[in-house]
Amino acid sequence: MSKHELISPKHKVIALVAHDNMKDELLEWVEHHREKLALHTLIGTGTTGKLVNDKTGLVVERLRSGPLGGDQQIGARIADGDVDVLLFFWDPLEPQPHDPDIKALLRIAVVWNIPVACNRATADFIMSSPFITNEYVRQVPSHER
């Protein structure tokens, strides 16, 4: 597979996703990082996006809920080069009926070489990186068909 470079700008697009049992933890985390998150564009699956907006006042573009295609919408945006970071607080202890969509979202994030946090500690590391507020050049698959 041939590769080319894509620049993630200083102003990132950050996707927020959280399973039901992890929404409170994500909200707490967002509140802790509210100031830095406000510097970026936020998108989220339906319920998660609404909760973050309602509880923190941060503007979040809401897509569909995960089980209704929101995970796939975020995946499509990642493949189009329109998402720079994925913060997905998932619940590994609860079975999810849309597990294939979750797996596909995580797979596409890896293919398109974006930072992915699946827990609070990794999300903290991403937010503390100097790359979160600076340009970052990443290798991505070529757009050749």
User: Can you tell me the distance from the alpha carbon of 135 to that of 29, in angstroms, rounded to the nearest whole number?
Assistant: 24
Within 13 Å, how many C-alpha atoms sit on residue 58's CB side?
A: 26
Per this entry, what is the length of the chain?
145
User: Can you tell me the distance from the alpha carbon of 60 to that of 43, in angstroms, rounded to the nearest whole number?
Assistant: 5
Which H/E stretch holds residue 117? strand 116-117
Q: Is residue 87 within 8 Å of residue 122, measured between CB atoms?
A: no
User: Can you tell me the distance from the alpha carbon of 128 to that of 55, in angstroms, rounded to the nearest whole number?
Assistant: 23
Show which residues are catalytic. Answer: 71
